[in-house]
Amino acid sequence: MSTLTPLISEIKANLETVLKLRNTKKKKEDDSYVSEGDLLLDKICMDYINKTYSSVQIITEETYSAGEVDLDAFEFTAVVDPIDGTENFVSGLMEWGVGVCIYKRSEFHEALIALPELNHYILSDDLPKEKFESRIYGISSSLTKEDLLNLEPGFEYRIIGCCMYNMFNVVTGRYKMFQNPKGARCWDILPGLNMAHKLGLDVTVNNKKYNGEFLQPAEKYRFKISN
């Protein structure tokens, strides 16, 4: 059993309370929203990780300030996105997710992608063996009108606004491809990148082949995952 399996039960047990916090949104400095639901899930994930790993540092979207992460400072490093797709969450959409990625020193250890309101949970230790065969290409909601007009014709495109949801789709074959040519932070993408890499999908970050390495949180990363 994955070390992160009990965290799924923790998320499920608190989902009703989280959903009641949809109308608590506040704007952050970057004009994105944060809600009390984000902060509650942030605490749930942090409490579980601190209880489970004796030597761990935790980087979350809601607590990270600045600076480079030293992977040798602790035995484990956890990267957490408590609610990816907060705009969806506070708008009443079900396509939002929780992402957790654990490194042991500089080596990938395990990851979780949770889509609580859709009741979908996948662990890097228990990835799906059967996959859909899709022709849909998922693209980031950060694209501008000009970016959209420059998309290659001839494909079915989808914009959902939640990286965890999109990662879940490409890892399970529901998307043929998912990409973000603008750039995302490590908490948005590390769980999905590592699951895709483990499955042998074609994964590139900043136009280079991705091999499971840790991505520093201060930067943004362009990526593409293809089945």
Count of the separate structural domains present in the chain: 2
Task: Establish if 130 belongs to a structural domain.
Answer: no
Q: Among 123, 145, 173, identify where a domain stops.
A: 123
Q: What is the DSSP string of 190-227?
A: HHHHHHHHHTT-EEEETTEE--S----TTS-EEEEEE-
CATH number of the domain that residue 66 is part of: 3.30.540.10
Confidence of residue 165 (pLDDT cuts 50, 70, 90): very high
Task: Identify which of 74, 17, 22 has the alpha carbon closest to the alpha carbon of residue 43.
Answer: 17
Q: Are residues 146 and 203 in the same domain?
A: yes
Q: Are residues 16 and 102 in the same domain?
A: yes
Domain boundaries, position 210: 136-226
Percentage of the chain beyond pLDDT 70 is: 100
Burial classification of residue 129, based on how many CB atoms lie within 10 Å of its CB (0-12 exposed, 13-18 middle, 19 or more buried):
exposed
Q: Are residues 168 and 63 in the same domain?
A: no
66 pLDDT higher than 90: no
Q: What is the DSSP string of 55-76?
A: SEEEEETTT--SS---TTSSSE
* Separation of alpha carbons 97 and 99, rounded Å: 7
Q: Are residues 115 and 159 in the same domain?
A: no
pTM above 0.75, yes or no: yes
Q: Are residues 149 and 200 in the same domain?
A: yes
Strand partners, 156: 136
- The helix or strand, by DSSP H or E, that contains position 147, with its residue range, turns out to be helix 145-149
23-63 tens-digit pLDDT? 999 998 888 899 999 999 999 999 999 999 999 999 998 88
Q: Are residues 116 and 149 in the same domain?
A: no
CATH number of the domain that residue 217 is part of: 3.40.190.80
Q: Are residues 217 and 140 in the same domain?
A: yes
Tell me what pLDDT residue 145 has: 86
Q: Are residues 29 and 118 in the same domain?
A: yes
Q: Are residues 199 and 98 in the same domain?
A: no
183 pLDDT higher than 80: yes
89-144 tens-digit pLDDT? 999 999 999 999 999 999 999 999 999 999 999 999 999 888 899 999 999 998 88
Residues 6 or more apart whose CB falls under 8 angstroms from that of 226 comprise 170, 176, 177, 201, 202, 203
Q: Are residues 158 and 110 in the same domain?
A: no
